[in-house]
Amino acid sequence: MTDAEAATWGEYVDFGSPATSFAHLRLGTGVACGVVVDGRLIPTDPQRRTHWPVLVVDERADAPLCPCGLRGCLEGFAGGDSIMRQARDMGFRDLSEFEHGVHSNYEAAVRIMDQAAIGVCRAIGNLAVKFAVTNVVLGGGILAALPSLFLRVQQALAKSASPGVCIRMSRLGDDAGIIGAARFALHPRH
């Protein structure tokens, strides 16, 4: 079980184990994803060397290159390293300053935050198409550091092709993986 799978299971059980398909997106230094369909955790391919294909949110030939080797991955738009690099390029020292820049309507900061929100919405849309996901929990350090990102994701999702998907913030936070692993060990469903 990967850490993303453990966190997904923790969030799934905390959500109330919906009968419908469920996904968990963790936006941290990088980006991770987990999916539960019909009460069963979809295992990550142990041989994969890239993100889940549903996390490719920009299919242009010149889309940003991800550390995984693919172009257009959500990590290039909403991963902590990507956002922090762009924030530093604008002169912000940390994500708190960047968040303040967004609240102050600093145009470049707002553009980066909107790109991150749109990328998350595209990933949610991909999950809805591929797995019929109707419930998504968003978690990870980026959402903790940039709370306005969740609001922007909600707004973008309402305008998207997947407005029927219910999203909420993680209630388990950094403990999602530990809690999920323990819950999975007691009641495995895969």
CATH code 3.30.420.40 for 3-42+50-186: yes
Please tell me what DSSP assigns to residue 143.
H
Give the model confidence (pLDDT) of 32-58 as tens digits. Answer: 999 999 999 988 766 665 567 889 999
Query: What pLDDT does 97 receive?
Result: 96
pTM beyond 0.75, yes or no: yes
Q: Give the domain ranges of the chain.
A: 3-42+50-186
Cβ atoms 48, 32 nearer than 8 A: no
| Positions in the chain whose pLDDT score sits under 50 | none
